[in-house]
Amino acid sequence: MGIDLYWDDEAQTVLLLEINGPWRWEELRRTLATVHKLTAQADPEVGALIDVRKGLFLSAGTLFSADGLANARSLLTLGTDEPGPVVVVGTNPLVRSVYEAFAKLDGAMRSRVRFADTLDEAREVMAAWLAERRE
């Protein structure tokens, strides 16, 4: 399996989803549904780090085929109905640009998802974000 999900901290306030190698769209959708379920039931609020540096490689050809657009839609809408914040680590520039273009049209997308280049940066962004939201 190319997707792993576990708690990133002892307090169980941050999930870490790592995409490490070959994966299938159905596997990604199932894992994202689990993230949604865990964050929806959380009190206090739970955030999610999604590390795609080692295994999410989408080219323009993949994204702009009929199947690619349908599958990528689940990634592009990530965070629109999630109760907790999401920080995506290591997104390729194409995916990030497409996401940001859609986020300009839908403020909910922008308010739930942020990006980071490294896992350490993502942890810092998430810690500050959760602290801000709890104030």
Specify the pTM: 0.79
Mark out the alpha helices in the chain (DSSP H runs): 25-40, 60-63, 66-76, 93-105, 107-112, 119-134
- pLDDT above 50: residue 36: yes
> What domains are defined for the chain?
3-129 (3.30.750.24)
More confident residue, 125 or 21: 125
Quickly state the pLDDT bin for 116 (edges 50, 70, 90).
very high
pLDDT value at 60 more than 50:
no
* Average pLDDT rounded to a whole number, residues 10-19: 92
Is the pLDDT at 42 greater than 50, yes or no?
yes
Residue 20 pLDDT exceeds 50? yes
